[in-house]
Structure 1
Amino acid sequence: MTKNLLVELGLEELPAYVVTPSEKQLGERLATFLKDNRLDFEAIQTFSTPRRLAVRVTGLADQQTDLTEDFKGPSKKIALDADGNFSKAAQGFVRGKGLTVDDIEFREIKGEEYVYVTKHEAGKPAKEVLAGIPEVLASMTFPVSMHWASNSFEYIRPVHTLTVLLDDEALDLDFLDIHSGRVSRGHRFLGQETEIASADSYEDDLRKQFVIADAKEREALIVEQIKAIEKAENVQVEIDADLLNEVLNLVEYPTAFMGSFDTKYLDVPEEVLVTSMKNHQRYFVVRDLDGNLKPNFISVRNGNAEHIENVVKGNEKVLVARLEDGEFFWREDQKLQIADLVAKLANVTFHEKIGSLAQHMNRAKVIAAYLAQKAGLSADEAAALDRAADIYKFDLLTGMVGEFDELQGIMGEKYALLAGENAAVAAAIREHYLPNSAEGELPETKVGAALALADKLDTLFSFFSVGLIPSGSNDPYALRRATQGIVRILDAFGWNIPMNELVDDIYALNFDSLTYDNKAEVINFIKARVDKMMGKTPKDIKEAVLAGSTFVVPDMLAAASALLEASKTDSYKPAVESLSRVFNLAEKADAIVAIDSSLFENEQEKLLAKATDELVLTGSASDKLAQLFALSPVINDFFDNTMVMAEDQAVKNNRLALLASLTAKADALAKFNLLNTK
């Protein structure tokens, strides 16, 4: 016989960004708890609103499954004393299992007998096991926490109710001084406390109190309401997924509505209006059917449609205040001079241990010039990069960016164009912030990409130089994100710049403001980001590529991808094993020994030398790998007919030198003896 279980934790309003992951976490933790405690179930459904996290388990067994376990103890000669009685070792063993020596039996394993006991544990009733639910709730982890009243235990927000129902029976549990029952809370303003009749009636009981507990149902309702407004008003609404999730987790009973603002604000850059609506007010942006921004917005009320006109007016009033700010800063910023703003950056601290923003920009300018040459930028691109590097942080001192910091770079581009800067310079000012997240969009122009690299490289080098190196999950200056951006840009633009040479060259530059330090740590940090870029590639392939002689990001990523694809073929194992043998022996070679063909003693040795000499790895990483794998028969014939570690020292060293010459070429793809073929 099975039952349905409901667990609901009622809390003060949760931060919107915490709700969805906490709902998922609670479901996963409860599922693990049930599995660990041998309570079978059919399915788990999770629920959440800003004021509750809940789980319903359907088809829950009424008791644990029985457990039968065998335990191996000491050998018979240890378990019995000279008189044939059970020794203290045997007695202690069975006592630890909750059994007696009467339960001992002997079993033979590889010619020797050992003590064995079998423990049978009858399954407990479900209600007895479910007494551990408060422990599940206590194990939850959150990005922020607090304690309240006299509680020393910290939690995401104060807990008000705990509902635990097994079908229609309320279980008697306690969590953080809250006694469980069947009482839940309705909507803060429209509803009231209510009793949940049973696990199955949960959604219906709360709906009567203006709470839609199922987040998926609530989301579908919001989208449906927005679509209805679109159709009625003949407009299109941008339903941004992140914004939708945030709004979803701010309301328990959603009602979408459309508001408006004065058309005069459409003279302000669209990005300012969109930022005001989406980021600051959590409004959805409205456009006409041609994609042009309209003086309207969509918001979602936490409640019903009663007196909605007052809600619309209130939201319009709040938005207008933001738009007034935007219009004012847009007008006032245009009176400023870029040169004056750049000069003031000398007084703005980049970091107290590193210096000013102006000093940071000066270093980035030198790095940018170096990158222009390495990346093969044209004369016009290099000139645009040089100019952009002179001014690219100026917009940080504008009123608009001071008020709307999300617009840094974006406003820099607009103000630069208004000041007469060319389009390449203006675009680079915007693009140097990209990517601004792990999977964020990349710069589109070479000038913007080079400036982004220069800015991120100096950020990485300077913070490492003063000892501000991320450790564990701690990364307050987002250096991992910046370095991930470096790797992604190099890969996207196919810039084959060896990172070890780049780091060496830039570290050799002289700056009055800072001397770069901790070079080895920087190299390892960059390699760790390349490793991450390889995604779910097997560990051995990652390690082999990272240990190779090349440190050209696009080539490394391509090599990892080629090896991953090759590993799925039948030729992979024998080819890798041949090359691995070459690498293992080549490590014993004397680096100063030159190959002497007069010391070759057989035809296979000559053929390998010829094949190695003629080997020029070209084309894609897959092509290069195929060229190496094609040598497998030649390598195998060499080993079948040649004793590499010959007694004649000169012959041995010559053969090792031959193998080393092959690995010197193959090493550009990977260190093949680190690959696993088992």
Structure 2
Amino acid sequence: MSKSVLFELGVEELPARFIDDALKQLQEKTADWLSENRIPYGEVKGYATPRRLAVKITDVEEKQPDIEEEAKGPAKKIALDDNGDWTKAAIGFSKGQGKDVEDIYFKEIKGTEYVHVNKFIQGEPTMKLLEGFGDILLGLTYPKNMRWGDRELRYARPIRWLVALYGEEVIPFSIENVSTGKTTFGHRFLGGTATVNDPEQYEDVLKEQSIIASVEDRKKTIYDQLKQLEAANNWKLIIDEDLLNEVTHLVEYPTAFSGSFSEEFLEVPEEALITSMKEHQRYFPVRSDDGVLLPYFVGVRNGDDQHLDTVARGNEKVLKARLKDAQFFYEEDQKGSIDKKMEKLSRMVYQEELGTLADKVKRVVAITGKLSEWLELDEPEKQKSLRAAEICKFDLVTQMVDEFTELQGVMGEKYARIFGEDEEVAKAINEHYMPRQANGQVPTTTIGSIVSIADKLDTIVGSISIGIIPTGSQDPYGLRRQALGILQTLNKQQWPIPVEKLIDLVHQFYFELQLPTRSEKEVHSDLHEFFRVRAAYLLKEKNIDPDVVDAVLSRGIGIYPTTILKAELLVEKRQEPSFKPVHEALGRALKLAEKADDDKVSPGLFKNDQEKKLYEVHQSIREEYLSYLQDGHPSEALDLLAELSEPIHSFFDATMVMAEDEKVRNNRLGLLKQIAQDVYVFADLNAIEWKQQF
């Protein structure tokens, strides 16, 4: 007979950011544990509130299924000695399987006879196995752990109670002197202790104690209440998904309420007001139907709807103090000038080995200048780029950004306008921080894109130069995200600048400035590989096959927008039977070209018409082919390469490449090497499996 199982871990309030991952771990580890222990079950459902993590398992059988299986042992020649008696190996094998040598039989596998026995494994009672579930609870990992009292255990928060039931029966085990039972705890103020007599009653029992145990149900309750307030007041709430998720994990019994603040605070930039409400107070800001921020907010109480007016007034007082601070910061930050604020950057350390923020800004300005030249900006646009780079970090010294770090760049743009800076310069200050998160918005303007790339390149090259390289999940400077941002921005702008050229420019700056770095060769290798891995990641995100990714990145990233187009084109071409002869020809040339020492070719050493023809066709297409790639037209470039297909096949049919005459041999290999070098600019075609996809 099957029964349901319930495990509940009661703790002091967990940080909201811990809960999603902890619940996911609990459900996955539970399912894995049940499978490993061969315990049949129906489904696993998880529950979480700030004070509990729980899992209910339905249709759990009373015992493991019995198993009959065949066990394979040593070969017959090892199992029997010269006299035909059982060896220690055979005796030990049979004992290890709970059998005697009389149970042994031989079975042939691939021409060799092996010892075998049939063994019967009786399933253990489920209750006995469930007593070991405490290890799953202890195996949950959290960003931070703590110790409490005189306990040795380190855990996210102190453990206060444990519920463990198989049907109506308590599953006995304990953690740090907390023993399992049927007693759970309800809402701190609205509930009390309660008894769970059956796992299927769990949600109902908690509901009576003012607890909504299901994360999904609690989230929906909050959302519905927000929408009700929105409709009743003709508001448009800013319901941010991350904030909604966080609030869901802060409460056990949610009740939404609204409050207001003085209209005078609306003179402060709305980004500061919204950040104060969302990030500091976990409130949902309110807009009108036409998008104007209104002097109202909506919060979520961990409790019922009693005395909500009092709750609202208390929250209004707290928010008022926050907004007064923001108002003060905004007014103070407008005093002085940008140049005066920039002076403070020389007293702010950016990184111990890389200098101050002022030093970083100087490098960003230099990189911006070079990029402006490469992109052939006109003089006014170049000067705007340099000005944006020069003042891109000035808002870091403002009180507003010091208090609300999330507003760096945002406030820089606003203050730049107030201080009379050009509109494009102001916008670039904000955009140079983009993208702010994975898959976030990239800069849209030319100036913002240039400064963004310059700033990120300086951060990446500087960090890797002094040995700060992301490993595993550790990336404290966000270098991976910034590298992805550079590549995404290059693609957005469709700039024909090879990524390696950008990397080497900044790397060279560091040596010219005599900043402390590791060996030049080592840093160069690390930088190029770091960006290559990021490019591979982005291409795979576009569903480019791994072998095609390896092919287009075999000789570096090159012009990234063109690299994307090359990869997409090759994914299509590999499915076209008509392209197979082209691949075979070019691939054969690539392979044999590996034997060449150099690419020198003397037409006077040609011995037949086929090698002359191949040389002439290659020379005739080469300039146009490379021009197409430089201009971002890989399809046309590949069409030109395809013109080499027939001459290559004819060449190999009529020509002995590895001729006895050394000069002739080297000349033919040099011709193939010239062709191979150009093919590699497109991709290593031999890295691709050119089979049709059905």
* TM class by smaller structure: over 0.9
Alignment partners' CA distance in 2, 1:202 and 1:562: 56
Pairing 1:660–2:676 present = no
Alignment partners' CA distance in 2, 1:51 and 1:575: 65
Counterpart secondary structure, 1:149: coil
Q: Which residue of 2 aligns with 1:129?
A: 129
The superposition leaves residues 202-251 of structure 1 with CA deviations (integer Å, 9 ceiling, x where unpaired) of 11110000000001111111111011111110111111000000000000
Using the aligned pairs only, state the percent identity. Answer: 43
Amino acid at match of 2:534: R
* CA deviation after TM superposition for structure 1 residue 629, in Å: 5.9
- Asked if the contact 1:530/1:557 (under 8 Å) is kept, the reply is no
* CA deviation after TM superposition for structure 1 residue 145, in Å: 1.2
Q: Which residue of 2 aligns with 1:57?
A: 57
* CA deviation after TM superposition for structure 1 residue 100, in Å: 2.8
- Asked if the contact 1:547/1:670 (under 8 Å) is kept, the reply is yes
* CA deviation after TM superposition for structure 1 residue 578, in Å: 4.6
* CA deviation after TM superposition for structure 1 residue 631, in Å: 5.5
Pairing 1:262–2:287 present = no
Counterpart secondary structure, 2:682: coil
The superposition leaves residues 419-449 of structure 1 with CA deviations (integer Å, 9 ceiling, x where unpaired) of 1111011011111111122222111111011
* CA deviation after TM superposition for structure 1 residue 606, in Å: 5.3
Counterpart secondary structure, 1:508: helix
Alignment partners' CA distance in 2, 1:290 and 1:422: 28
The superposition leaves residues 548-584 of structure 1 with CA deviations (integer Å, 9 ceiling, x where unpaired) of 2552222333333333444455567765455433322
Alignment partners' CA distance in 1, 2:379 and 2:489: 21
* CA deviation after TM superposition for structure 1 residue 674, in Å: 2.6
**The 10-residue stretch of structure 1 (667-676 or 336-345) with the greater mean CA deviation from structure 2:** 667-676
* CA deviation after TM superposition for structure 1 residue 598, in Å: 5.4
**The 10-residue stretch of structure 1 (219-228 or 546-555) with the greater mean CA deviation from structure 2:** 546-555
Find 2:587's aligned residue among 580, 583, 589: 580
Pairing 1:527–2:532 present = yes
Q: Which residue of 2 aligns with 1:441?
A: 441
The superposition leaves residues 135-158 of structure 1 with CA deviations (integer Å, 9 ceiling, x where unpaired) of 221221111112223332322211
Distance 1:512 1:506, change over 3 A: closer
**The 10-residue stretch of structure 1 (59-68 or 262-271) with the greater mean CA deviation from structure 2:** 59-68
Q: Which residue of 2 aligns with 1:368?
A: 368
Alignment partners' CA distance in 1, 2:581 and 2:194: 70
Alignment partners' CA distance in 2, 1:623 and 1:61: 65
* CA deviation after TM superposition for structure 1 residue 628, in Å: 4.6
Pairing 1:649–2:662 present = yes
Unmatched segments (≥5 aa) in structure 2: none
Alignment partners' CA distance in 2, 1:443 and 1:436: 10
Counterpart secondary structure, 1:99: coil
Q: Which residue of 2 aligns with 1:305?
A: 305
**The 10-residue stretch of structure 1 (167-176 or 557-566) with the greater mean CA deviation from structure 2:** 557-566
- Map of 1:24-63 to 2, 5 A cutoff? 24-63=24-63
**The 10-residue stretch of structure 1 (11-20 or 205-214) with the greater mean CA deviation from structure 2:** 11-20
- Asked if the contact 2:605/2:664 (under 8 Å) is kept, the reply is no
Q: Which residue of 1 aligns with 2:223?
A: 223
Amino acid at match of 2:299: S
* CA deviation after TM superposition for structure 1 residue 588, in Å: 0.9
Counterpart secondary structure, 2:540: coil
Q: How many residue pairs align between the two structures?
A: 677
Alignment partners' CA distance in 2, 1:425 and 1:442: 16
Alignment partners' CA distance in 2, 1:68 and 1:575: 57
Find 2:603's aligned residue among 596, 606, 609: 596
**The 10-residue stretch of structure 1 (543-552 or 11-20) with the greater mean CA deviation from structure 2:** 543-552
Unmatched segments (≥5 aa) in structure 1: none
Q: Which residue of 2 aligns with 1:555?
A: 562
- Asked if the contact 2:261/2:296 (under 8 Å) is kept, the reply is yes
- Asked if the contact 1:247/1:282 (under 8 Å) is kept, the reply is yes
Alignment partners' CA distance in 2, 1:11 and 1:637: 78
- Map of 1:251-330 to 2, 5 A cutoff? 251-330=251-330
Distance 1:548 1:90, change over 3 A: same
Counterpart secondary structure, 2:187: coil
Counterpart secondary structure, 1:289: coil
* CA deviation after TM superposition for structure 1 residue 658, in Å: 2.9
* CA deviation after TM superposition for structure 1 residue 532, in Å: 2.0
Q: Which residue of 1 aligns with 2:87?
A: 87
- Asked if the contact 2:540/2:546 (under 8 Å) is kept, the reply is no
* TM-score (norm: length of structure 2): 0.92
Distance 1:240 1:652, change over 3 A: same
- Map of 1:401-420 to 2, 5 A cutoff? 401-420=401-420
- Asked if the contact 1:401/1:408 (under 8 Å) is kept, the reply is yes
**The 10-residue stretch of structure 1 (587-596 or 314-323) with the greater mean CA deviation from structure 2:** 587-596
Counterpart secondary structure, 1:180: strand
The superposition leaves residues 139-191 of structure 1 with CA deviations (integer Å, 9 ceiling, x where unpaired) of 21111112223332322211112212223322112233321112111011111
Distance 1:592 1:667, change over 3 A: closer
* CA deviation after TM superposition for structure 1 residue 282, in Å: 0.7
Pairing 1:501–2:501 present = yes
**The 10-residue stretch of structure 1 (73-82 or 249-258) with the greater mean CA deviation from structure 2:** 73-82
Distance 1:378 1:571, change over 3 A: same
Alignment partners' CA distance in 2, 1:571 and 1:164: 66
Amino acid at match of 1:224: D
- Asked if the contact 2:497/2:559 (under 8 Å) is kept, the reply is yes
- Map of 1:1-20 to 2, 5 A cutoff? 1-20=1-20
Pairing 1:460–2:460 present = yes
- Asked if the contact 1:580/1:674 (under 8 Å) is kept, the reply is no
Q: Which residue of 1 aligns with 2:139?
A: 139
Alignment partners' CA distance in 2, 1:661 and 1:223: 65
Alignment partners' CA distance in 1, 2:13 and 2:683: 53
Alignment partners' CA distance in 1, 2:173 and 2:194: 19
- Map of 1:208-219 to 2, 5 A cutoff? 208-219=208-219
**The 10-residue stretch of structure 1 (162-171 or 594-603) with the greater mean CA deviation from structure 2:** 594-603
Alignment partners' CA distance in 2, 1:163 and 1:59: 18
Amino acid at match of 1:253: Y
- Asked if the contact 2:548/2:571 (under 8 Å) is kept, the reply is yes
The superposition leaves residues 70-99 of structure 1 with CA deviations (integer Å, 9 ceiling, x where unpaired) of 333222112100110111122223333343
Alignment partners' CA distance in 1, 2:355 and 2:138: 45
**The 10-residue stretch of structure 1 (645-654 or 142-151) with the greater mean CA deviation from structure 2:** 645-654
The superposition leaves residues 318-345 of structure 1 with CA deviations (integer Å, 9 ceiling, x where unpaired) of 0000110111111121112111111221
Amino acid at match of 1:587: E
Alignment partners' CA distance in 1, 2:584 and 2:13: 60
**The 10-residue stretch of structure 1 (244-253 or 484-493) with the greater mean CA deviation from structure 2:** 484-493
- Asked if the contact 1:549/1:670 (under 8 Å) is kept, the reply is no
Amino acid at match of 1:476: P
* CA deviation after TM superposition for structure 1 residue 47, in Å: 1.1
The superposition leaves residues 37-92 of structure 1 with CA deviations (integer Å, 9 ceiling, x where unpaired) of 22222222211111111111222233223334433322211210011011112222
